[in-house]
């Protein structure tokens, strides 16, 4: 998703690849006086090609007539739900049931105000230039986004499990590939309603904070090239705890359509591994401190905040014998929701159709988590 630039005023014209070609040529070798120099025969080398950065295309930006301020969005979005383990799987259906329109209807009817649609683009994008996204997959993503928008839900669309990028960010080819993905996504969805927002990258674990700062700046410029006033969500590095948001640079301090983001499954030993309990006064105080820090950051930077992943497992999927107590799970979710409401932070429950789920996708029914999650939603 990146190019090594930090000056947002720089303009790119044309959508081309700038290739730097290094030709390895033969060279002679000289000997000292009086010695006979033997010719050195070198095997011809294949030219080494290194890609330069992609250049932003010349385009006509689409100004959203129904623009929404980030603060209004956060106020209305309140608590939403993830359509997890679906388009973020290598192939839809690998990890959970494939998406159906009735899922989005159920989300709306349950009282959720927004849905996050995680998408992993890797398996559906060419690995060589021009890095075209498969049209059938793009159509499928668009179909599900449209289903959600038809329910008048706010929608978060992202780049999710892009391990090829996160594990080798410095390779220019990888930066160009993620650039190309976002160029295509931003252009494809540019005329969708303002309730659709883009989250630039989920949990960039393996990338440094400097990597993420560069990435956020570059990707924001790609999106702004198509939509100057669409909402964009940015996070820090790693698994995006609150600390990483606090350490991250704002990608453009002049941009009026940004939302800061963090994730919280704290403590993971409870919420993810089910190897400890939760519910003491200290447990609650630690969770409150996370929300307090997010609120304080928001006030200082005048940027609203959301936690677009929070939740608690029913069991550890890697060690299913470790089971979380249901009463503690519900109390934990209740505390998250209450804190989000108190501090004016939108939250998105991680529902993966499995251990972290509340919605039974096969039967169309809800667990006890649902009523807790939507209790403050208007």
pLDDT digits (tens, 9 = 90+) for 150-186: 999 999 999 999 999 999 999 999 999 999 999 999 9
Note the pLDDT of residue 18: 34
Looking at residues 277-301, what average pLDDT do you find?
Answer: 98
Residue 349 within a domain: yes
Measured in degrees and rounded to the nearest 5, phi and psi for residue 246 equal -65, -30
Residue 106 within a domain: yes
Print the domain residue range for 190. Answer: 62-373
- Give the number of C-alpha atoms closer than 13 A to the C-alpha of residue 302, restricted to the C-beta side: 7
Question: Catalytic site residue 203?
Answer: yes
pLDDT digits (tens, 9 = 90+) for 250-261: 999 999 999 999
Say which residue, 266 or 47, is predicted with more confidence. 266
What rounded mean pLDDT belongs to the chain?
90
Cα–Cα distance measured from residue 111 to residue 370, given in angstroms and rounded to the nearest whole number: 9
pTM: 0.87
Looking at residues 96-119, what average pLDDT do you find?
Answer: 98
Question: In DSSP terms, which residues pair with 349 in a beta bridge?
Answer: 81, 310
Residue 19 within a domain: no
Nearest-10 crossing angle of helices 135-150, 172-188: 50
Q: How far apart are the first and last CA of the chain?
A: 37
As a whole-number percent, the residues of the chain with pLDDT over 90 amount to 85
Q: Is 137 helix (H, G, I), strand (E, B) or coil?
A: helix
Residue 22 within a domain: no
Note the pLDDT of residue 51: 66
Looking at residues 355-363, what average pLDDT do you find?
Answer: 98
Q: Which of 199, 309, 328, 369 is catalytic?
A: 309
Measured in degrees and rounded to the nearest 5, phi and psi for residue 23 equal -95, 125
The DSSP output letter for 191 is T
Residue 207 has pLDDT above 90, yes or no: yes
**Pairs from 244-250 (Cβ < 8 Å, separation ≥ 24):** 244/209, 244/212, 245/294, 245/297, 245/305, 246/293, 246/297, 247/209, 248/209, 248/212, 248/213, 248/216, 249/213, 249/216, 249/217, 250/301, 250/303
Residue 364 has pLDDT above 60, yes or no: yes
Residue 271 within a domain: yes
Work out the pLDDT band at 316, boundaries 50, 70, 90: very high
- CATH code, domain with 270: 3.20.20.80
Residue 172 within a domain: yes
**Residues in contact with 130: Cβ distance below 8 Å, sequence separation at least 6, in sequence order:** 17, 180
Note the pLDDT of residue 52: 86
Q: Where are the alpha helices (DSSP H) in 90-132?
A: 101-110
Looking at residues 250-274, what average pLDDT do you find?
Answer: 98
Residue 193 has pLDDT above 50, yes or no: yes
Work out the pLDDT band at 329, boundaries 50, 70, 90: very high
pLDDT digits (tens, 9 = 90+) for 12-61: 333 333 333 333 333 333 333 334 344 444 444 444 445 688 889 999 99
Report yes or no: 78 and 113 within 8 Å, Cβ to Cβ. Answer: yes
Note the pLDDT of residue 378: 72
pLDDT digits (tens, 9 = 90+) for 341-350: 999 999 999 9
Which range is least confidently modeled, 23-27, 210-214, 240-244, 278-282? Answer: 23-27
Taking only Cα atoms into account, the Rg of the chain, rounded to an integer number of angstroms, comes to: 24
Of 375, 378, 346, 366, which Cα lies nearest the Cα of 68?
346
Report yes or no: 186 and 222 within 8 Å, Cβ to Cβ. Answer: yes
Looking at residues 211-230, what average pLDDT do you find?
Answer: 98
Report yes or no: 147 and 101 within 8 Å, Cβ to Cβ. Answer: yes
Of 246, 343, 235, which Cα lies nearest the Cα of 288?
343
Residue 12 within a domain: no
Number of domains the chain is built from: 1
Give the DSSP H/E element, type plus range, for residue 152: none
Cα–Cα distance measured from residue 112 to residue 102, given in angstroms and rounded to the nearest whole number: 14
Would you call 308 exposed, middle or buried from its count of C-beta atoms within 10 A (0-12, 13-18, 19+)?
A: buried
The DSSP output letter for 74 is H
Residue 338 within a domain: yes
Q: Which of 92, 162, 199, 203 is catalytic?
A: 203
Measured in degrees and rounded to the nearest 5, phi and psi for residue 360 equal -85, 100
Of 238, 280, 285, which Cα lies nearest the Cα of 261?
238
Question: Catalytic site residue 342?
Answer: no
């Amino acid at each position: 998703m990146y190019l090594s630039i930090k000056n947002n005023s720089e303009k790119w014209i044309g959508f081309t690849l700038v290739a730097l070609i290094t030709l390895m040529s033969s060279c002679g070798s000289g000997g000292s006086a009086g010695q006979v120099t033997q010719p050195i025969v070198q095997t011809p080398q294949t030219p080494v090609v290194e890609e330069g950065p992609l250049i932003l295309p010349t385009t006509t930006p689409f100004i959203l007539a129904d623009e929404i301020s980030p603060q209004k969005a956060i106020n209305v979005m309140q608590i939403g739900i993830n359509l997890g383990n679906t388009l973020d799987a290598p192939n839809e259906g690998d990890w959970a049931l494939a998406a159906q329109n009735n899922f989005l209807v159920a989300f709306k009817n349950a009282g959720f105000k927004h849905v996050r649609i995680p998408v992993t683009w890797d398996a559906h994008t060419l690995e060589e230039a021009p890095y075209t996204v498969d049209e059938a997959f793009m159509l499928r993503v668009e179909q599900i986004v449209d289903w959600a928008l038809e329910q008048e839900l706010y929608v978060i669309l992202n780049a999710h499990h892009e391990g090829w990028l996160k594990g080798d960010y410095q390779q220019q080819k990888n930066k160009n590939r993620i650039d190309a993905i976002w160029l295509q996504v931003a252009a494809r969805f540019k005329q969708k309603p303002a309730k659709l927002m883009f989250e630039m990258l989920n949990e960039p674990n393996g990338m440094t904070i400097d990597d993420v700062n560069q990435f956020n700046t570059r990707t924001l410029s790609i999106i702004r090239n198509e939509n100057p006033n669409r909402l964009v969500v940015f996070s820090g590095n790693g698994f995006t705890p609150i600390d990483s948001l606090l350490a991250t640079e704002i990608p453009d301090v002049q941009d009026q359509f940004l939302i800061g983001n963090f994730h919280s499954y704290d403590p993971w030993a409870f919420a993810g591994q089910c190897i400890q309990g939760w519910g003491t006064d200290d447990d609650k105080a630690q969770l409150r401190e996370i929300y307090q820090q997010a609120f304080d950051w928001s006030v200082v930077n005048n940027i609203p905040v959301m936690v677009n992943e929070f939740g608690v497992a029913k069991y550890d999927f890697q060690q299913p014998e470790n089971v979380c107590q249901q009463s503690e799970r519900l109390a934990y979710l209740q505390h998250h929701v209450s804190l989000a409401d108190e501090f004016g932070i939108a939250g998105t429950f991680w529902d993966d159709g499995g251990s972290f789920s509340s919605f039974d996708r096969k039967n169309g029914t809800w667990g006890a988590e649902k009523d807790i999650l939507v209790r403050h939603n208007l």
